[in-house]
C-alpha cells in the first residue's frame, strides 16, 4: 500500500509505517478523532460506565435519552460473586418535554422510585451529552438525595463530547475517590488493592487466588466484582496494583497523594508478565515468606503450564499477529505473549494508548511492524492484508472485519469467553488463537471463498 491512498492526510502522524512516519518525533496520540473517520473509539460516558458498572451492589442510573442506557446494558461480561443488581439497566429515559423543560424533576423522581423499591447504599448518576447542554444541576440533585435518604448519591459527569474515553475513566476515578475517601485515614490492615481488573470472565478471581496462595491480602478490587463495603476499605491497603494502566493510573496517583498508598503497574497476561508481576508484588511487601512462596508458586505453575503451552506452540510458531485493543498496556502485554509463543507481531494499534506506551511498543516489535493510534477499519484492513496477519486480537467491532478478510480472531475485550489472565489465562489464550487459526473452515475458504472447489 502506498502512503496516502487509503490514509487520510490528518491521520499520517498517528501511524508509524516505514513509508510514512511523520517527522520521526513519535506517534501522534491522545488527541481527538478526525471528523468523518470510521473510528473504533467510544465516548466519555462509555469510559465512565465501563469502570463503574462492575460495582455490583450500587445502582447505576443513566440520566439521558434511552439509548445511552440500552447500549451499555449488561454487555461487559464483568462477573459478580454476589449482587446482580448492576446487570439491570436504569435510565431516566429523557423525552422531548424533559429536554425543553429540564430533566431535574425526572431525575429526582427516578431516585425516589429506586428508593421506594430497594435500599441501595450508593447510587451513581451518569450525566450524558444533553444533560450537559440543557444544564441540569445534577450536583444539587445528588446532594438533596443524599440528605433525604442518608445514602451516597454520586454524580458522574460524563457528557460524551467532553473529551475521549480516557476523560470518562477520570470521571469514574473521581467518583470512586468521592466514595472511598474517609474522614480519618484508617490503619494499614491489608496488603494490596487491585486496580483496573474488571473481572471479565472471572479474571479477578484468578488473580486474587494467586495472591491468596502467596499470602497477600486484598482490601478492594477496583472495580471487578466490587462491593461498596470493600471499596470503602481501600484506604487501608499498603500498596496499589495497577493492571489496566490506561484507566487506573489516575486513580492510583490520587490514592497515593490522599491515602499515601504507593502503586506499581503490573500485568497478568502471559507467563512472563504474570511471573514478573507476582515477584514484584512479593518483593514490594518486603516479607521473606511471601517472596519464598511466590517463587515456589511461580516455579510450580511454570512447570505445569509451559509443557502444555508447548503443545500449542508448534501450531503457533512463525504465525503473524495483529493487535487492535483499547489501551496501550494491554497491547504491550499481548506483544510479549506472542513473543512467548514464537509469533511475530506485525501490526499494533490502540484506541487510547499514550506516548510512553507507543515508545515501548516500538522497542518490542520489529522495525517493519505497523503501529497506529485510533485506527479505522480501512486502515486495519489495508495493513493487516499487507502485513499478512494470520490473526487479529481485538474487540467486538473488529471481529467481523477480520473474518471477512479471512483472518482468524480472538476477542480480548468485553466478549472474551474465557479468562485470559494468569497462567490459566495464557493457556486459554493459546488454545483460543490456535482454535481460531486452525478452524477447518479456513481450509474451505482458502480454496476459493465462494467459488466451488
Partner 1 sequence: MLNLTPKEVSKRSALRINPLRTCQPVGAMYAALGVHGCLPHSHGSQGCCSYHRTFLTRHFKDPAIASSSSFTEGASVFGGGANLKTAVRNIFDIYDPEIIAVHTTCLSETIGDDLTGYIQDAKITEGKYVVHTNTPSYVGSHITGYANMISGFIKYLSESTGDKNGKLAVFPGFVNPGDMREMKRIMTLMGIPFTMLPDSSGVMDSPMTGTYEMFPRGGTTVAEIIDLGNCQSALALGEMTSEAPAETLEKKCKVPYQTLPLPIGVESTDAFIMALNHFCKEEVPYALEEERGQLLDIMLDSSQYSHEKTAAIFGDPDTVLGITQFVLEMGMIPKYVVTGTPGSTFDKRVTELFEKYQVEGCVVKSASDLFELHQWIKNDPVDVMIGGTYGKAVARAEDIPLVRAGFPIIDRYVHSYLPIVGYKGAMRLIELILTAIMDRQDRDCADEDFEIVM
Of the pair 177, 405, the CB lying nearest partner 1 is at 405
Which region among 159-167, 236-244, 245-253, 295-303 touches partner 1 (by CB under 8 A)? 159-167
Compute how many residues bind partner 1; rule: CB under 8 A: 88
| Rounded distance between C-alpha atoms, residue 370 and residue 9, angstroms | 17
224 part of the interface to partner 1, by CB under 8 A: no
Task: Choose, by CB under 8 A, the member of 148, 212, 311, 404 that binds partner 1.
Answer: 404
Residue 13 near partner 1 by CB under 8 A: no
214, 293 contact by CB (below 8 A)? yes
CB-side neighbour CA atoms (13 Å) of 59:
21
Question: Minimal CA–CA distance to 308: which of 425, 212, 419, 208?
Answer: 425
Residue 89 interacting with partner 1 (CB under 8 A): yes
144 near partner 1, rule: CB under 8 A: no
**Which residue is associated with the grid cell 483496573?**
196
Contact set for partner 1, span 349-388 (CB under 8 A):
377-378, 381
Q: What is the C-alpha R_g of the chain? A: 23
Strand partners, 195: 222, 242
Q: Is the Cβ–Cβ distance between 418 and 407 less than 8 Å?
A: no
**CA–CA separation, 442 vs 453, rounded Å?**
14
- Smallest distance from partner 1 to CB 12, Å: 12
- Nearest CB to partner 1, comparing residues 67 and 318: 67
DSSP H or E run through 346 = strand 344-350
Residue 110 near partner 1 by CB under 8 A:
yes
Shortest Å, Cβ 198 to partner 1: 17
Among 19, 23, 24, 117, binds partner 1 (CB under 8 A): 117
| Shorter beta-carbon distance to partner 1: residue 38 or 185 | 38
Contact residues for 123 (Cβ-Cβ < 8 A; gap 6+): 58, 59, 60, 61, 111, 114, 145, 151, 152, 153, 154
- CB neighbours of residue 215 within 10 Å: 17
Residue 234 CB neighbours (<10 A): 29
* H or E segment to which residue 377 belongs: helix 377-387
Binds partner 1 by CB under 8 A, chosen from 78, 92, 285, 436: 92
Site for partner 1 in 246-285 (CB under 8 A): none
CB of 196 to partner 1, least distance (A): 21
State yes or no: residue 95 binds partner 1 (CB under 8 A).
yes
20 binds partner 1 (CB under 8 A): no
Comparison of 19 and 183: residue with beta carbon closer to partner 1:
19
Measure the CA angle with vertex 195, ends 339 and 332; round to 5°: 20
Q: How far is the CB of 329 from partner 1 (least distance, A)?
A: 21
Query: In Å, how far are 173, 245, 424 from 235, measured between CA atoms?
Result: 14, 19, 30
Q: How far is the CB of 32 from partner 1 (least distance, A)?
A: 6
Instruction: Select 68 or 176, whichever has its Cβ closest to partner 1.
Output: 68
Rule CB under 8 A: choose which of 161, 260, 311, 314 binds partner 1.
161
Distance of closest approach, residue 54 Cβ to partner 1, in angstroms: 14
Residue 17 engages partner 1 in binding (rule: CB under 8 A)? no
Q: Among 1, 12, 20, 134, which residue interacts with partner 1 (rule: CB under 8 A)?
A: 134
B/e letters for 349-385, b = 16+ CB within 10 Å, e = fewer, are bbbbbbeebbebbeebbeeebbbbbbbbbebbbbbbe
- Residues 22-51 vs partner 1: string with x where CB under 8 A? ----------xxxxxxxxxxxxxxx-----
Amino acid at each position: 500500500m502506498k502512503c496516502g491512498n487509503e490514509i487520510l492526510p490528518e491521520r499520517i502522524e498517528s501511524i508509524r509505517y516505514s513509508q510514512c512516519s511523520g517527522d520521526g518525533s513519535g506517534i501522534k496520540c491522545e488527541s481527538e478523532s478526525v471528523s468523518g473517520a470510521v473510528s473504533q473509539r467510544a465516548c466519555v460516558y462509555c469510559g465512565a460506565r465501563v469502570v463503574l458498572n462492575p460495582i455490583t451492589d450500587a445502582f447505576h442510573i443513566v440520566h439521558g435519552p434511552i439509548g445511552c442506557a440500552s447500549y451499555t446494558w449488561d454487555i461487559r461480561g464483568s462477573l459478580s460473586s454476589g449482587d446482580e443488581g448492576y446487570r439491570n439497566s436504569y435510565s431516566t429515559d429523557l423525552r422531548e418535554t424533559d429536554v425543553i423543560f429540564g430533566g431535574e424533576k425526572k431525575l429526582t423522581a427516578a431516585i425516589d422510585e429506586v428508593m421506594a423499591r430497594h435500599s441501595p447504599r450508593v447510587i451513581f448518576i451518569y450525566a450524558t451529552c444533553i444533560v450537559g447542554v440543557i444544564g441540569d444541576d445534577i450536583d444539587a440533585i445528588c446532594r438533596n438525595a443524599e440528605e433525604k435518604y442518608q445514602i451516597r448519591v454520586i454524580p458522574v459527569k460524563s457528557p460524551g463530547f467532553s473529551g475521549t474515553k480516557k476523560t470518562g475513566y477520570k470521571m469514574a476515578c473521581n467518583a470512586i475517590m468521592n466514595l472511598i475517601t474517609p474522614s480519618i485515614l484508617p490503619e494499614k490492615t491489608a496488603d494490596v488493592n487491585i486496580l483496573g481488573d474488571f473481572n471479565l470472565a472471572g479474571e479477578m478471581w484468578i488473580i486474587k487466588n494467586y495472591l491468596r496462595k502467596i499470602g497477600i491480602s486484598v482490601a478492594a478490587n477496583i472495580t471487578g466484582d466490587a462491593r461498596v463495603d470493600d471499596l470503602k476499605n481501600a484506604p487501608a491497603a499498603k500498596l496499589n496494583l495497577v493492571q489496566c494502566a490506561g484507566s487506573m493510573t489516575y486513580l492510583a496517583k490520587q490514592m497515593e497523594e490522599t491515602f499515601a498508598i504507593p502503586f506499581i503497574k503490573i500485568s497478568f497476561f502471559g507467563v512472563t508478565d504474570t511471573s514478573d508481576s507476582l515477584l514484584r508484588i512479593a518483593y514490594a511487601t518486603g516479607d521473606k515468606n511471601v517472596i519464598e512462596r511466590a517463587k515456589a508458586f511461580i516455579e510450580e505453575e511454570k512447570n505445569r503450564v509451559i509443557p502444555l503451552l508447548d503443545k500449542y506452540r508448534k501450531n503457533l510458531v512463525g504465525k503473524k499477529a495483529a493487535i487492535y485493543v483499547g489501551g496501550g498496556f494491554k497491547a504491550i502485554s499481548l506483544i510479549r505473549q506472542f513473543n512467548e509463543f514464537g509469533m511475530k507481531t506485525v501490526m499494533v494499534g490502540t484506541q487510547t494508548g499514550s506516548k510512553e506506551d507507543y515508545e515501548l511498543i516500538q522497542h518490542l516489535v520489529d522495525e517493519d511492524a505497523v503501529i497506529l493510534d485510533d485506527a479505522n477499519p480501512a486502515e486495519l484492513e489495508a495493513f493487516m492484508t499487507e502485513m499478512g496477519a494470520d490473526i487479529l486480537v481485538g474487540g467486538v467491532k473488529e471481529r467481523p472485519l477480520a473474518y471477512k478478510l479471512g483472518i482468524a480472531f480472538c476477542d480480548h475485550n468485553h466478549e472474551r469467553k474465557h479468562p485470559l489472565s494468569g497462567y490459566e489465562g495464557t493457556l486459554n489464550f493459546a488454545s483460543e488463537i490456535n482454535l481460531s487459526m486452525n478452524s477447518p473452515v479456513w481450509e474451505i475458504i482458502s480454496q476459493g471463498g465462494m467459488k466451488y472447489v
